[in-house]
Structure 1
Amino acid sequence: MASSLLRNLKPHQIYASNTSVGKTIFSTLLLRAHTHFQPSKKTFYLKPVSTGPDNEADDCHISRFSPATQTKCLYQFDEAVSPHIAARLSPLSDKTIIKDVQSHLASCAAEGGTLLLETAGGVHSPTPSGSSQADLYRPLRLPTCLVADHRLGGISGTISAFESLHIRGYDLDAVCIFQDETYQNYVYLREYFEKKGVKLLAVEQPPERSSKYSEKEDAQMMETYYGNVAESGELEDLVQLFANKHEQRIERLENMSTKAHSTIWYPFTQHREVSPDTILTIDSASGDFFQAHSKSEQTEAEVLKPTFDGSASWWTQGLGHGNPELSLAAAYAAGRYGHVMFAGTIHEPALKLAQNLLANLHNPRLAKCFFSDNGSTGMEVATKMALSASCERYGWEKGEIGVLGLKGSYHGDTIGAMDCSEPSVYNERVHWYEGRGFWFDFPQVKMNKGKWVVEPPSGMEGEFGELARFESLGDVFDLETRLKSPAGQQYGEYIRTTLERLVVKEKRKFGAVIMEPVILGAGGMLFADPLFQQTLIQVVRENASLFSSNTPKPSDPNTWSGLPIVFDEVFTGLYRLGRFSAASFLQTHPDISVHAKLLTGGLVPLCTTLASDSIYNAFLGSEKRDALLHGHSYTAHPVGCHVANTSLNTMLEMDREKKWQPFKDDWQEAVTGVNESVWSMWSKDFIYHVSNFDAVESVVALGSVLAISLQDANAGYSSSAATGLQRSLIKGSSEFKIHSRVLGNVFYMMASQTSQPETLRSIEQLLLRELP
């Protein structure tokens, strides 16, 4: 992927609202005008895909009537039919076309000047692969000139074409149209577009072709037409407008980081380390990549540099930036509903989303869905649910009630969610923080020097046993076999003994078990031994008498026992680890499950907290104060819910159609007694090689997650061991840069669920080159 904004090249893309509206004629006019008013600048014309005989090709027309222009057609098909039909015998992918277009842009930029890229047919005319060309060219996001339809019905078609481009993030700089005094579409459209700040150019129609004129006479009339119109003042204004827009866009990009430095307070950032040079300016994003401002020397040809979104935009990005299906889903719901209040009402997107999640989590305990705005508030809700249910069942009054969890856990920055995590760098300067609970240290899964191991915490070998080695990652998740091992027995004994000490001897009260299944994200991508997490849940559920000797164990298997189990799947859920639910790795079902981030594919914020009937029933009472009094103005906002349904259905379809099979084939690690495999989008050989670097302490990979722990005597969130690698990658290669976040000495990368193998293999090669 290359840059589409080059300092020395002023590109514009010519789209048409329909076929036969004069797209090539306007291309010719614009090129002639550039040559006339800027004679020292070169002009280029690019027709990526053309169909029909060579002598009727658009680039031939340009060569004839704008001879100073360098023309190029990348792919010419002889049949005068739609490209998707013409290319049926010679398949041509969108990726190939974009790569060749970018290569041509770069070669033209070396000479400098103006380039017009003319599309084929209308905005949504099919590409050779059958996709919409509005989607094909979207990664380029070139400034756009739309040729309007001057004929009967053309107003509707033109506005529809504009909306299709607008919703995909194109910037429309101008609209061109022929004058027609019968329909006067140009009069209506001028007022319509000028309200939107878009210039409309209306010119006289070219002379009609007639059999009474010879080919030479016809050509002479067209030459006269082009000369008269192209040299008019209106065309001069349009040429200058395009030039100004280009310069203004570059100027905005160059100044944004300085302005941001003076006005923005960034999250999770020590601002003494921030300067305009460290702030990444993003012009747009497509697929896995940002188009980010290049801070190289000002003479650098590339103003924008493709930059891999290495954190998947803080773990939200699942279906690619600028995904048209998600954009259309958001627009549809916004147009149908806007936002409607949710207390005591229902709308279709919210109902469908609740049903969708309940059906696909395959958790017989879950029955109700509560909506909130983001992961932290979703965990706040879950904590209220769980602690209230425990207090109701055990007859506890208000007092010091804590939670059980794991060291290194993090559940968000709202006050309740923060108190569910152990003291850490995240909360040590939050003066009202009160860590309410006990957090178990736990064995961790990692690859070290080419071997998968389960490593006990330092100094706890007596409780957990020595380091255990496994032939494959699949063997680590073979919990049925491992439960019978000495480690399984030791885990159970340690957890029971610890709970007896806390509850019986120290008289502490706990109202919930709260954990991130499998991987603890913000704590440093800590890969918890799934057997330890499963055992903790089993011990709590099987020892209800520990928490109240007067309450019998429920007879209904779907009713919580001991303590409610809360899974924070905000990060790990919805295919982030390769499965719809991370709970399946532990072969157990939580009583409350929280989902966000990938829920909406990275487009809008939304969170769902799903709970069992036994949790829900704790809030049924005779007074309103007995209810769960929690909510948000935008609870279950229809835009988010409809986008979430689209996102989930897309990923479920990808799973059914085996879109991830190439990654699974690379790993081929089945788990005994479980239908689903264990796999990663990061290649198995790459993980092995990285784990053998001297500077690497260990590596973990699962689903789209890759985490590399670098050697550091002071490992942890405050470590700076990974910042050198982070700085090297943002400098990038000749092809692209990598934007990343680090967690102390842990460098992590996150693919999206639509990342392509060739993209990730390229990143792996860059990582191997840059690792210390």
Structure 2
Amino acid sequence: MCTLSERDRKVNWHPYTQMQTAAAAVPIVRGEGAYLYDDKENRYIDAISSWWVTLHGHANPYIARKVSEQLHTLEQVIFAGFTHEPAIVLSERLLELLPENQSKVFYSDNGSTAVEVALKMCLQQSYNKGLPKTKILAFTDAYHGDTFGAMSVSGRSVWTAPFKDQLFDVLFIDPPNADNLPAIKNMISQYAQELACFVYEPLIQGAAGMLMHRAEELDELLSFCRALNITLIQDEVFVGFGRTGKLFAANHLHTQPDIMCFSKGLTGGTMPMGITTCTEQVYQSFLSEDRYKALFHGHSFTANPLACAAALASMDLLLQEETLQRIQSITEQHIVFAQSITEHPKVKTLRHTGTILAIEWNTGEDTSYFNQFAAALYRYFWERGILIRPLGNILYLVPPYCISNEDLSYIYQTISQALDTL
């Protein structure tokens, strides 16, 4: 009889994987809280929330119950010309938590498409107004998704090389700091009349290696762009819903975006959903007696009632005092641990924001997603019952909020041992 791994190899093609050389995929048969269990009943701590999505742990009974209740009421309905209460309530509750200028919610099905929607809003807003704004501003080494629009505004790399001739032109700038801000402002000024929008990952560039920039300089940059009437798209797909220590990265900033993008933790990792919110001004630019000025974008599963129910349940859990205290506790424990290893000779750099901790390993090689040290790191932790997914030589932690202090301590202890032995 074939194992699950053997059956998988025959039929499945996995993401970000060179299938010819990759090890067999590990079968996971169930999850519970911060743990995953394989087909041999080995238990692993999910230290990365299964690609940054599982806020409240696996198989959360409250979310499961709410989705089950919705499943027995309404599982799906077309959202063009129809609506339903879960979508209305989710939009109402989310807008209450977001910056006051956010006015409308547009549903899609993942983070990449949430960004696609935002880009189309900006470009068509300019088109509807008859403005010659077709250029987009983005950060170097950005990552906004893998669909073509999202790829275009992501940093150019080996990931995007096969498609370079199909990606639209983007003006890239480095994340701001005290030294480079004057030069960045000067460059933006030269293109301001052509710039439809600035799309950015606030505070943390996740896929780039958990690169972090300060809120103060980002605020200054956003304020400068606002003064030049450049629409601001804040991609909170990764950092939203508590990851930065506050509910949203926007809570760290004074200058608020015109458009915001959400996914990942939105449903507590239960099922796919994307959301793009915008100001009333952006929304109004599509209102017209001319039907051709409507936003022509949609998905079959737009505002799926089950995903809305999961998102509402996740929001219930997120706003509980116990969860908010756990976010603060994880943040504080990360800080204490980071201080304990900051002088270790194998630690090249340490980066920390909220519940996210990144350790750049000093391997003698350039930092890269394809750094071979990733395989050794992954194997070392997996053999000790911890799931991580290094970004090359960068080990990071993005734990679910339900993780226990004991499990966090064990992860820290294992990192310390790895620093001494690997």
Q: Could you say which TM-score interval applies, normalised by the shorter chain?
A: over 0.9
Three-state SS of the structure 2 residue aligned to 1:260 is: helix
Structure 2: which amino acid aligns with 1:262? K
Three-state SS of the structure 2 residue aligned to 1:565 is: strand
**Aligned partners of 2:360 and 2:395 also within 8 Å:** yes
Three-state SS of the structure 2 residue aligned to 1:589 is: coil
Structure 2: which amino acid aligns with 1:697? K
Partner of 1:343: 80
Partner of 1:520: 205
**Aligned partners of 1:284 and 1:291 also within 8 Å:** yes
Which aligned runs of 4 or more in structure 1 are off by greater than 6 angstroms?
none
For the residues of structure 2 that align with 1:525 and 1:322, how far apart are their CA atoms?
27
Normalised by the size of structure 1, how large is the TM-score?
Answer: 0.52
Structure 2: which amino acid aligns with 1:694? P
Partner of 1:265: 13
Deviation at 1:659, TM superposition (A): 4.4
Return the match for 2:343 from 682, 686, 692.
692
Partner of 1:289: 35
Matched, 1:590 2:245: no
Return the match for 1:567 from 234, 242, 255.
234
Partner of 1:631: 298
Bigger RCO of structures 1 and 2 (CA < 8 A, at least 6 apart): 2
Structure 2: which amino acid aligns with 1:703? G
Deviation at 1:431, TM superposition (A): 5.0
Structure 1: which amino acid aligns with 2:236? E
For the residues of structure 2 that align with 1:364 and 1:322, how far apart are their CA atoms?
33
What's the CA shift string for 1:236-286, capped at 9, x where partnerless?
xxxxxxxxxxxxxxx77xx1111212221000112232133xx21111111
For the residues of structure 2 that align with 1:730 and 1:340, how far apart are their CA atoms?
42
Three-state SS of the structure 1 residue aligned to 2:151 is: helix
CA pair 747-652 structure 1, distance change in 2 beyond 3 A: same
For the residues of structure 2 that align with 1:769 and 1:740, how far apart are their CA atoms?
15
Return the match for 1:385 from 117, 121, 127.
121
Structure 1: which amino acid aligns with 2:401? Q
Alignment of 1:212-251 (within 5 A): none
CA pair 395-660 structure 1, distance change in 2 beyond 3 A: closer
Q: Unpaired runs of 5+ in structure 2?
A: none
Return the match for 1:714 from 350, 362, 366.
366
Normalised by the size of structure 2, how large is the TM-score?
Answer: 0.94
Three-state SS of the structure 2 residue aligned to 1:686 is: helix
Report percent identity of matched pairs: 30
What's the CA shift string for 1:104-128, capped at 9, x where partnerless?
xxxxxxxxxxxxxxxxxxxxxxxxx
For the residues of structure 2 that align with 1:306 and 1:622, how far apart are their CA atoms?
59
Partner of 1:652: 319
Partner of 2:91: 354
Partner of 2:378: 726
Partner of 2:189: 500
What's the CA shift string for 1:82-121, capped at 9, x where partnerless?
xxxxxxxxxxxxxxxxxxxxxxxxxxxxxxxxxxxxxxxx
Partner of 1:369: 105
For the residues of structure 2 that align with 1:387 and 1:657, how far apart are their CA atoms?
37
Return the match for 1:620 from 272, 287, 300.
287
Partner of 1:102: none
Deviation at 1:594, TM superposition (A): 0.8
Partner of 1:92: none
Partner of 2:4: 256
Partner of 2:66: 329
For the residues of structure 1 that align with 2:106 and 2:263, how far apart are their CA atoms?
12
Structure 1: which amino acid aligns with 2:70? A
Deviation at 1:322, TM superposition (A): 1.0
CA pair 696-662 structure 1, distance change in 2 beyond 3 A: closer
Partner of 1:602: 269
**Aligned partners of 2:48 and 2:387 also within 8 Å:** yes
Deviation at 1:529, TM superposition (A): 2.5
Structure 1: which amino acid aligns with 2:286? F
CA pair 431-262 structure 1, distance change in 2 beyond 3 A: farther
Partner of 1:764: 412
Alignment of 1:111-510 (within 5 A): 255-276=3-24, 279-293=25-39, 303-361=40-98, 363-393=99-129, 395-396=131-132, 401-430=134-163, 432-442=165-175, 464-465=178-179, 491=181, 493-503=182-192, 509-510=194-195
Structure 2: which amino acid aligns with 1:723? A
What's the CA shift string for 1:440-496, capped at 9, x where partnerless?
1135xxxxxxxxxxxx6xxxxxxx44xxxxxxxxxxxxxxxxxxxxxxxx62x3232
For the residues of structure 2 that align with 1:594 and 1:685, how far apart are their CA atoms?
32
Three-state SS of the structure 1 residue aligned to 2:114 is: helix
Deviation at 1:379, TM superposition (A): 0.5
Pair member with larger Rg: 1
Deviation at 1:661, TM superposition (A): 5.1
For the residues of structure 2 that align with 1:691 and 1:657, how far apart are their CA atoms?
27
Deviation at 1:722, TM superposition (A): 3.0
Alignment of 1:43-122 (within 5 A): none
Three-state SS of the structure 2 residue aligned to 1:429 is: helix
Total equivalences in the alignment: 419
What's the CA shift string for 1:675-716, capped at 9, x where partnerless?
xxxxx1643231012322212211112222121111243212
Three-state SS of the structure 2 residue aligned to 1:724 is: helix
What's the CA shift string for 1:561-581, capped at 9, x where partnerless?
x11100000000011122111
For the residues of structure 1 that align with 2:353 and 2:416, how far apart are their CA atoms?
19
**Aligned partners of 2:260 and 2:276 also within 8 Å:** yes
Q: Unpaired runs of 5+ in structure 1?
A: 1-250, 294-302, 444-455, 457-463, 466-489, 545-561, 664-679
Q: Which moved more, 1:527-536 or 1:607-616?
A: 527-536
What's the CA shift string for 1:148-195, capped at 9, x where partnerless?
xxxxxxxxxxxxxxxxxxxxxxxxxxxxxxxxxxxxxxxxxxxxxxxx
**Aligned partners of 1:495 and 1:539 also within 8 Å:** no
